[in-house]
Chains A and B, each alone.
Chain A
Amino acid sequence: MSILTFTLVLILGAYLAGLVGSLTGLGGGVVIIPLLTLVFHVDIRYAIGAALLASIANSSGAASAYIKEGITNIRLGMFLEIATTLGAVGGALIAVYTPTNTIAILFGAVLLFSAAMTLRKKNQNALNKGSRLAEILKLNGSYPTKEGKVEYKLANVTGGFSIMGLAGIMSGLLGIGSGALKVLAMDTTMKIPFKVSTTTSNFMIGVTAAASAVVYLQRGYMDPGIAFPVVLGVLGGAFTGAKLLTRIDASTLRIIFCIAITFIAIEMIYNGIQHKF
């Protein structure tokens, strides 16, 4: 395969990854890693470097569109980024001592979990009575809907913060956005309506990934020949996804993606056990 063919096929693949990542709120990285390793037989370390860039591009691209609509809770994102950035730095440090096959198995497990999280029942309700800590930290907010402005309050801030730390570690270790863990923290633990939790998660992914990205750049994980098609493709997909999400009900698409992601996850775990990475 020539460099030109490789680049063009990868741009197309990355475009789809960005689209899926944006529609599901999981980030482009989760799709980029299996695409590069399983389809293009690229070493998982190069894939992690590219996935980090994809996560940042995906997050920043989609977040700029969501912020415009006023759904993202910026204060909440900033507060929880303390946990995710600390975790990400720790994860990037552990990564050096972790064998690539272990990383692949762990990645598969996170992917399975992400697929399950996408299929679960979403929290549609806004909480009327929140915790005291949420009040003190000014985390409660409101967001616009077709029926008007909806006010919401937060529960269990400490629990959400802890899960965010774990999401950060996974992000630093695997080079992904850990969108599913972030949504779990906000949606299930802190009881935030899912529209706010998915967009705020997407907004946070960029900062979390940036916390470990320079470490990976200096370790030589980022190859320009892979980064160039991945970044451009994912960006295109993320913009399309952000536009689509405000217009269509993506629930059917989510189910299809989840089934596909489950198969990919099993293959990653299987190949990891077979020491193919």
Chain B
Amino acid sequence: MNVQKNKIALSERDVEKSVGQLLRFGVVTSSIIVLIGGILYLFSIGSQPRPDYDIFKGEQASLVTFKGIFMGIFTMNPMAIIQFGALLLIMTPIMRIIFSLTAFAIEKDRLYVIITLIVLSIILVSTFGGLNI
């Protein structure tokens, strides 16, 4: 009985550790991409005066859609590379939820599979629902 209890506790701890590793991986990968884009950005226009951030103009179309950002990466546009890194950063917590969902499913924790699915659908509806992608 005692041995079995330890086994369950161990597997839960493993899941938690993997979630931590996933978060770290997402953050490290996205920050490396942001750093690469940032260095290219500074080399290309670093000496120019600061853009007029005082007035809100919004971003150009190529930096606000998934399609625009992906197209920009292929032409090595530094701004698009930074934006892609930002997008990866946003995806990191979403990936964490998908990961937790799998972990709860393996543990056969039905209640938490449902709870996780609710959270995931709220985020996906907000991300893809009725928006111009």
Contacts and interface: CB of A to CB of B under 8 A. Distances in A.
Contacts of A255: none
Given A59-B93, A67-B17, A72-B16, A43 B49 contact: no
Interface in A26-46: 40-43, 45-46
B64 A220 contact: yes
Contacts of B79: 224-225
Interface in A1-40: 1-4, 6-7, 40
A92 interface: yes
Tell which of B30, B47, B50, B93 has the most Cβ of chain A within 10 Å.
Answer: B93
Interface residues of B, number: 68
Contacts, number: 200
A43 B53 contact: yes
B21 interface: yes
Given A3-B48, A42-B54, A57-B27, A222 B16 contact: no
Chain A interface bracket (under 10, 10 to 19, 20 to 34, 35 or more)? 35 or more
Contacts of B123: 85, 207, 210-211
Given A61-B27, A64-B20, A217-B64, A1 B56 contact: no
Contacts of B78: 224
Contacts of A81: 97, 119
B27 A223 contact: no
A206 to B, nearest CB: 4
A63 B20 contact: yes
Contacts of A213: 90
Interface in A218-270: 218-229, 231-232, 235
Contacts of A231: 30-31, 34, 85-86, 89
Interface of B: 13, 15-17, 19-21, 23-24, 26-27, 30-31, 34-35, 37-38, 41-42, 45-51, 53-59, 63-65, 78-80, 82-83, 85-87, 89-94, 96-97, 100, 109, 111-112, 115-116, 118-119, 122-123, 125-127, 131-133
17 contacts: A3-B42, A3-B45, A4-B42, A40-B53, A42-B54, A56-B93, A57-B31, A60-B96, A72-B16, A78-B115, A206-B93, A206-B96, A211-B122, A214-B126, A215-B126, A215-B131, A217-B64
Given A70-B16, A214-B126, A220-B58, 4 more contacts: A63-B20, A82-B119, A206-B96, A222-B59
